[in-house]
């Protein structure tokens, strides 16, 4: 019999597993990766009697591996807040799925554990940008402004640590970050004891964000235009690959009437010219169209936020035309 813990490499996935393993320690094999690495069930080969925990990755994207695990005779605990697809009706599956917009996996686990390690759920909620819920729970716990800020900064830092094109781009491997965090019943104890980790996460995030915000737009419409747009070009560097996924959110907060396209240069070239990873954010005050544009270039996403995995340099003009 083997134990496997599969979890998303962001704050939500890590904090979910921290809660569960504080409540029920296991010597398990950890399976995780960068934030967008979500097909984790395909990384293991379960056998009869194995115990598998899956956290914060879409069941819909892991259906094949889930069915294989259940058919092999493994038991599966699955908690998540993304789209699930059809949930198998199987006695060996314990599914805890809630797709409400005001929850995250760590809050689902918090409910399951009856609030035993709620501070870690608060950290995850801050990190997953469910700020109102995090604030409410922190206020119920009686935390002051300084304490709430510490939990928020830890959550944002842990979440940001999952961003990058590969594990080499991250400050910490998510499995390493979990092993550090699970030593502490309270995130406050971790912050106090591991100031080195706390500083690396929080300072690293802020330094990357400052670099990103200092980039002058490659193209932009005239200020004050009714339908504003801006295109930001980021270099093929580690800090840029990390910040590309969240820079658009911050720019949208600062310029709610403007849409943004964040183009990050990739390693791959075509005919000696660079290719780009694209993150699209619709104007915060008009959350439509991001997915429509992305699909035209082989990408996808939601109306407010979408992405393109590979944009050719020759397609930049066409993308800008679509954008404006």
Residue 223 pLDDT grade (very low, low, confident, very high; cuts 50, 70, 90): low
> Each residue of 148-196: pLDDT tens digit?
999 999 999 999 999 998 999 999 999 999 999 999 999 999 999 999 9
Cβ 53 vs Cβ 77: under 8 Å: yes
120 backbone dihedrals φ, ψ, rounded to 5°: -70, -30
Could you give the 3-state DSSP secondary structure of residue 180?
helix
Q: What is the pLDDT of residue 148?
A: 98
Residue 302 pLDDT grade (very low, low, confident, very high; cuts 50, 70, 90): confident
Query: Of 30-34, 145-149, 266-270, which gets the smallest average pLDDT?
Result: 266-270
User: What order do you get walking across the sheet with 219-220 strand by strand?
Assistant: 219-220, 228-234, 258-270, 273-281, 305-312, 300-301
- Convert 276-304 to b/e letters by CB count within 10 Å (16 or more is b): bbbbbbbbbeeeebbbebbeebebebeeb
Tokens 């979910």: give the residue: 16
Angle at 138 between CA 245 and CA 250, to 5 degrees: 20
pTM to 2 decimals?
Answer: 0.89
pLDDT at 225 over 80: no
Percentage of the chain lying above the pLDDT 90 cut: 84
pLDDT at 260 over 90: yes
* DSSP strand pairing (300-301 vs 305-312): antiparallel
Distance of alpha carbon 138 from alpha carbon 198, whole angstroms: 19
> Each residue of 93-145: pLDDT tens digit?
999 999 998 999 999 999 999 999 999 999 999 998 899 999 999 999 999 99
* CA-based nearest residue to 8, from 163, 209, 131, 205: 163
Cβ 68 vs Cβ 90: under 8 Å: no
Which residues, at least 6 apart from 221, have a Cβ–Cβ distance to it below 8 Å?
227, 228, 229, 230, 258, 324
3-state secondary structure 70-113: HHHCCEEEEEECCCCCCCCCCCCEEEEECCCCCCCHHHHHHHHC
Residue 224 pLDDT grade (very low, low, confident, very high; cuts 50, 70, 90): low
Residue 303 pLDDT grade (very low, low, confident, very high; cuts 50, 70, 90): confident
């Amino acid at each position: 019999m083997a134990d496997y813990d599969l979890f998303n490499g962001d704050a939500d996935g890590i904090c979910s597993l921290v809660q569960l393993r504080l409540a029920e320690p296991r010597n398990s094999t950890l399976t995780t990766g960068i934030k967008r690495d979500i097909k984790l069930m395909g990384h293991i080969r379960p056998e009869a009697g194995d115990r598998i925990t899956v956290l914060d990755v879409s069941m819909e994207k892991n259906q094949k591996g889930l069915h294989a695990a259940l058919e092999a005779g493994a038991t599966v605990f699955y908690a998540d807040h993304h789209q699930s697809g059809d949930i198998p009706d199987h006695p060996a599956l314990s599914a805890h799925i809630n797709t409400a917009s005001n929850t995250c996996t760590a809050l689902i686990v918090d409910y399951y554990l009856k609030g035993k390690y709620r501070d870690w759920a608060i950290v995850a909620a801050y990190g997953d940008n469910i700020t109102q819920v995090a604030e409410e729970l922190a206020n119920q716990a009686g935390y002051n402004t300084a304490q709430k800020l510490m939990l928020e900064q830890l959550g944002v830092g842990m979440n940001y640590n999952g961003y990058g094109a590969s594990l080499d781009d991250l400050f910490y491997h998510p499995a390493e970050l979990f092993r550090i965090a699970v030593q502490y019943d309270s995130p406050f104890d971790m912050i106090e004891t591991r100031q080195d980790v706390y500083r690396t996460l929080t300072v690293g995030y802020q330094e990357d964000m400052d670099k990103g915000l200092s980039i002058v737009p490659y193209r932009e419409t005239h200020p004050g235009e009714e339908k504003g747009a801006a295109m930001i070009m980021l270099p093929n560097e580690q800090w840029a690959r990390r910040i590309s996924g969240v820079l658009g959110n911050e720019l949208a907060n600062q310029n709610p009437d403007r849409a943004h396209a964040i183009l990050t240069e990739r390693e791959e070239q075509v005919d000696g010219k660079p290719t780009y990873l694209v993150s699209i954010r619709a104007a915060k005050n008009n959350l439509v169209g991001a997915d429509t544009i992305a699909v035209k270039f082989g990408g996808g996403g939601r109306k407010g936020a979408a992405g393109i995995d590979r944009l050719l340099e020759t397609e930049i003009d066409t993308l800008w035309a679509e954008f404006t």
